[in-house]
Amino acid sequence: MTRIDDTFARLSSEGKKAFVAYVMAGDPDYATSLELVKGLPGAGVDIIELGLPFTDPMADGPTIQLAGQRALEAGMTLQRTLELATEFRKGDDTTPIVLMGYYNPIYNRGVETFLRDARAAGIDGLIVVDLPPEEDSELCIPAQDAGLNFIRLATPTTDDKRLPKVLQNTSGFVYYVSITGITGSAEAEAGDVGPEVARIKAATDLPVIVGFGINSPEKSEAIASVANGAVVGSAIVKRIGEGQATDEVLAFVKTLADGAHRA
């Protein structure tokens, strides 16, 4: 059982849906980012998705691309991202952290070294958007052997033929991408998402969490009502990019979390 499994078991026993928040590690700088991440659980966040800055983030829209650029320009690296997680763990040993990013920085560090260091830093799961199931031997299976969940993305174009392949080595939860395209590019609609979530849930016992296109408390509630929870990233990152104070950003996050928890 990982912290992710424990969190979903607890939420299920409470009859609640999950709220997952994405922030880019090191945006706009290490100290501000650490302060924000430390404040997320108090704002109602059940699982933290921590973005790993990368120079070529092909799945991300302009908002998160700019966040990655800010972080990189401030000196953020994979090593510093793991250090941030380590600092967070000194005060919180229960909130799951999912590291979300691309394979290149992990490959450059070396998979075995990375997995050892990620475990030591308190990382619970990985979302690596550019590794398809056909490459499971690269990272997915070693990660699960090391005790980390490997969370796969399903999309509106994942048909019934492809879905079993996507699910075969997934653990923790399934991340359903509610729209086609990049992050922040459109709004999710519960009427479209609900049947897709039901289709995925018919094929797996894992929780299904929906992300992309959720930007308000109302949308968070609507999407969580047809899934096991909601993920918000771009709408939070946008406020960081605008220079809002940490307490302002966390106040906004709380409204989103409250929405998901009402569902």
User: For residue range 44-84, what is the model confidence (pLDDT) as tens digits?
Assistant: 999 999 999 999 888 788 999 999 999 999 999 999 999 99
Confidence at residue 182, expressed as pLDDT on a 0 to 100 scale? 55
Residue 100 · residue 127 · CB < 8 Å = yes
> In this structure, how many other beta carbons lie within 10 angstroms of the beta carbon of residue 171?
19
- The pTM score is 0.96
Active site residues: 49, 60
Identify which has the larger pLDDT, 37 or 191.
37
- Helix ranges (H only) for 20-136 are 30-39, 62-73, 78-89, 103-109, 111-121
Helix, strand or coil for residue 97?
Answer: strand
Query: How many Å from the N-terminal Cα to the C-terminal Cα in the chain?
Result: 26
Question: Domain spans of the chain?
Answer: 3-262
DSSP assignment of 169-226 = T--S-EEEE-SSSSTTSS---HHHHHHHHHHHHTT-SS-EEEESS--SHHHHHHHHTT
User: For residue range 207-223, what is the model confidence (pLDDT) as tens digits?
Assistant: 999 999 899 999 999 99
User: For residue range 152-172, what is the model confidence (pLDDT) as tens digits?
Assistant: 999 999 999 999 999 999 999
User: For residue range 83-127, what is the model confidence (pLDDT) as tens digits?
Assistant: 999 999 999 999 999 999 999 999 999 999 999 999 999 999 999
Among the four given CATH numbers 3.40.50.300, 3.40.50.10860, 1.20.120.530, 3.20.20.70, the one describing domain 3-262? 3.20.20.70
Helix, strand or coil for residue 138?
Answer: coil
